[in-house]
Amino acid sequence: MTKPIHPEALFRIQVLGSLTSRADLEKGELKRLVKDLSKHAYETPNGKRVFLSPKTIERWYYVWKKENIEGLEPKTRCDRGKTQIPQDVQFCLIALKEEQPSRSIHTLIRQMEVQEKVGKNELTRSSVYRFLKNKGLSKQVVNDSHRIERRAFEALHAGDIWYSDVMHGPHMMTPKGSRKTYLITFLDDASRLACHSGFYFTESALSLEHALKETLLKRGLPKKLVIDNGSAYRSDSLKTVCARLGIHLVYCRPYEPQGKGKQERWHRTVRAQFLQEIALENMSDLNELNKRLWIWIEHEYHQRSHEGLEKDETPLSRWRKDQSHIRQLGVLAASLDEYFYHRIKRKVRKDGVVSWEGKEYEVPFEFSGDTVYLVVDPHQQTALTIESMKYYTLGPVFPLSRQANCQRRRQRPATSKASGKLGKKFVEALVDKTEDTFDITNTTLDRE
């Protein structure tokens, strides 16, 4: 039976290409041909694309000339399986590893140094690893009681599960100086579609709510939203929005990034394929950065086949395939802003004014001294109305204008004049009654 050719040897013979068919080469021609071959990228048997140096290709050529294709097969090291670690240290390493299989190489080396079996930095990580691997002890074993079962999963339809997380982005020079950016993304599980993604200067709850509103307007309503445990995701306002829209919030367990692997993979793609290709030093506007991000998402990421999907399927085509399963906003789109309003408890001053974010607003005067909810649009930084403590609308609010109030005629209660007349009549009746009393007394004295 013919011996199969080693995949590495086949790869090397393909790199040599036409060199293997040339009987004689002119002087200097080999160096020119080898230099041309080194300019191309080659796919190795393990799927990686690499560039090879002219020296490597030339060495392979001379090995092939001398030993044919068998010479191109990778050679086994003559010292394979051997180690320079002293015999007594070997026994100690094996004993420590078998006693506690979860011990790391760093811990093993440290214990050898503490026990003075070896000098400081005498043992290298690579030598210990090769020794343990040869003994079948290199794998770091986790105690079954601490092992978490992991399973590959995928939502049945697009829109069933969304993920959201914040990626720390690059710094950007602005008129106010260098500022750090944060990328907030909502990613669909089944299609890997970036429902919305945008850079912000903060990772606050307000930035997250703004990103969520943009996402809902673009892609409808998810059934489940899997989010991080950060403070921005724990806000009552976000919980309220999701509860009213029928979105099931699911919080990931702390320190377990494996539970949102698709989101972590998205962040790696953004860093490698987008951030490395743009010139941030020429940008000072966050809107410009987000504009370029969405051009890349819509024309590159969404249009490219994804290895996690079926063959030649793109995130956009997978999303469109499930349009009938996605919950659309429908009539909610017209009133979606109202779901994101904030309600802030305020006590109305005696002059009918409430304050918010350093601004003063006038409310209907009859609510002076009352405690009310001030309804605000935090994204537009405007106050809209006031509500009672039972959430009934009481009336609109307006920015305070002290100059306009200087010329404004004050209103007085309609009952003020009537109260004055009633008071006057009461005094007159009291006087009359007093005079009648004295008359009666005087009459009695006269009779006595």
Same domain assignment for residues 67 and 92: no
Same domain assignment for residues 191 and 286: yes
Q: Is residue 432 in a domain? A: no
Same domain assignment for residues 190 and 311: yes
- In this structure, the dihedral spanned by the alpha carbons of residues 103, 108, 114 and 117, taken in order and rounded to 10 degrees, is 140
Q: What is the pLDDT of residue 296?
A: 93
Measured distance CA(241)–CA(54) in Å, rounded: 62
Q: Is residue 425 in a domain? A: no
Q: Is the pLDDT of residue 261 over 70?
A: yes
Measured distance CA(95)–CA(360) in Å, rounded: 74
- Going by pLDDT thresholds of 50, 70 and 90, the confidence category of residue 185 is very high
More confident position, 423 or 334: 334
CA angle, residues 315, 319, 324, in degrees to nearest 5: 170
Measured distance CA(383)–CA(346) in Å, rounded: 12
Per-residue pLDDT, averaged over 140-149, amounts to 54
**Among 71, 69, 62, which Cα is nearest to 30's?**
62
What is the torsional sign of CA 195, 196, 197, 203?
negative
Q: What is the pLDDT of residue 424?
A: 52
126: its two tokens? 């690579």
Q: What is the pLDDT of residue 402?
A: 82
Same domain assignment for residues 292 and 179: yes
Per-residue pLDDT, averaged over 95-118, amounts to 85
Last residue of a domain, one of 300, 325, 350: 325
Q: Is the pLDDT of residue 1 over 70?
A: no
Last residue of a domain, one of 325, 360, 394: 325
- Going by pLDDT thresholds of 50, 70 and 90, the confidence category of residue 141 is low
Q: Is the pLDDT of residue 284 over 70?
A: yes
Q: Which residues contact 367 (CB under 8 A, 6 or more apart)?
A: 348, 352, 386, 394, 395
Per-residue pLDDT, averaged over 180-198, amounts to 93
Measured distance CA(395)–CA(383) in Å, rounded: 12
Measured distance CA(71)–CA(396) in Å, rounded: 87
Measured distance CA(211)–CA(186) in Å, rounded: 8
Same domain assignment for residues 91 and 67: no
Q: What's the CATH code of the domain at 356?
A: 2.40.50
Mean pLDDT over each residue of the chain, to the nearest integer: 82
Exposed, middle or buried by CB within 10 Å (0-12, 13-18, 19+), for 380?
A: exposed
Per-residue pLDDT, averaged over 396-416, amounts to 75
Per-residue pLDDT, averaged over 96-100, amounts to 85
Per-residue pLDDT, averaged over 361-384, amounts to 90
- Going by pLDDT thresholds of 50, 70 and 90, the confidence category of residue 236 is confident
Same domain assignment for residues 225 and 304: yes
Same domain assignment for residues 173 and 91: no
Q: How far is CA 144 from CA 107, 148, 149, in A?
A: 21, 8, 10
Distance from the first to the final alpha carbon of the chain: 158
pLDDT cut 70: percent of the chain above it: 85
Q: Which residues contact 8 (CB under 8 A, 6 or more apart)?
A: 45, 72, 73, 74
Q: What is the pLDDT of residue 117?
A: 85
Q: Is residue 434 in a domain? A: no
- Going by pLDDT thresholds of 50, 70 and 90, the confidence category of residue 254 is low
Per-residue pLDDT, averaged over 308-323, amounts to 89
Same domain assignment for residues 298 and 259: yes
Same domain assignment for residues 169 and 277: yes
pLDDT cut 90: percent of the chain above it: 25
- Going by pLDDT thresholds of 50, 70 and 90, the confidence category of residue 259 is low
Q: What is the pLDDT of residue 448?
A: 37
DSSP of 297-340: IIIIITTS--TTSSTT--HHHHHHHTGGGSB--GGGGGGHHHHT
DSSP of 44-102: -TTS-EEE--HHHHHHHHHHHHHHGGGGGSPPPPTTTT---S-HHHHHHHHHHHHH-TT
Q: Is residue 186 in a domain? A: yes
Same domain assignment for residues 241 and 208: yes
What is the torsional sign of CA 381, 385, 386, 390?
negative
261: its two tokens? 């692997």
Q: What is the pLDDT of residue 247?
A: 92
Residue 119 in 3-state DSSP?
Answer: coil
Domains in the chain, number: 4
Domain that holds residue 363: 341-406
Q: Is the pLDDT of residue 443 over 60?
A: no
Q: Is residue 53 in a domain? A: yes
Measured distance CA(135)–CA(211) in Å, rounded: 53
Q: Is residue 31 in a domain? A: yes
Same domain assignment for residues 178 and 316: yes
Q: Is residue 360 in a domain? A: yes
SS (H, E, C) 94-107: HHHHHHCCCCCHHH
Q: Is the pLDDT of residue 440 over 60?
A: no
Q: Is residue 414 in a domain? A: no
- Going by pLDDT thresholds of 50, 70 and 90, the confidence category of residue 77 is low
- Going by pLDDT thresholds of 50, 70 and 90, the confidence category of residue 438 is very low
Per-residue pLDDT, averaged over 164-177, amounts to 89
**Among 195, 164, 165, which Cα is nearest to 327's?**
195
Same domain assignment for residues 210 and 349: no
Length of the chain, in residues: 448
Q: What's the CATH code of the domain at 282?
A: 3.30.420.10
Q: Is the pLDDT of residue 196 over 90?
A: yes
